[in-house]
Amino acid sequence: MEFLILTGILLFIMGSLVLLVSGLITFFFSKVHFLYILAGSATVGAAVGMFYGFGGFTVVAVVVNIILSSIAIGLAKYGLYLKAKTDIEPESLLS
């Protein structure tokens, strides 16, 4: 029972950090290719899984990190898209 609680807390904290960092990197450094960010988050998931030494946890951590990182990247790219669409010149509204 303690194993499930610790694993859940660890996945929650790790997932929150992955969402935050991936979204910030994508939003502020939009020139970085998304595959590098996904590879970095997968590497962090593998390192955390191996550090804590749980058997099947490493695969779960990598998959969860990749999914959450891709969600954050998609939301940041959508935000950049909306920002680009709303940046129009005031003179173009008059003509």
Distance CA 48, CA 33 (A): 23
With respect to residue 90, please indicate whether it lies within any of the assigned structural domains.
Answer: no
With respect to residue 76, please indicate whether it lies within any of the assigned structural domains.
Answer: yes
Measured over the CA atoms of residue 62, residue 68, residue 71 and residue 75, the dihedral's sign is negative
Q: What residues contact residue 46 under an 8 Å CB cut-off, 6+ apart?
A: 58, 61, 62
In this predicted structure, the answer to whether residue 9 has a pLDDT above a threshold of 70 is: yes
Instruction: Give the DSSP letter of residue 32.
Output: S
Distance CA 52, CA 39 (A): 20
Q: Summarize pLDDT for 15-71 with one digit per residue, the tens.
A: 899 999 999 999 999 899 999 999 999 999 898 888 877 667 888 889 999 999 999
Single pTM value for the model: 0.81
With respect to residue 21, please indicate whether it lies within any of the assigned structural domains.
Answer: no
With respect to residue 86, please indicate whether it lies within any of the assigned structural domains.
Answer: no
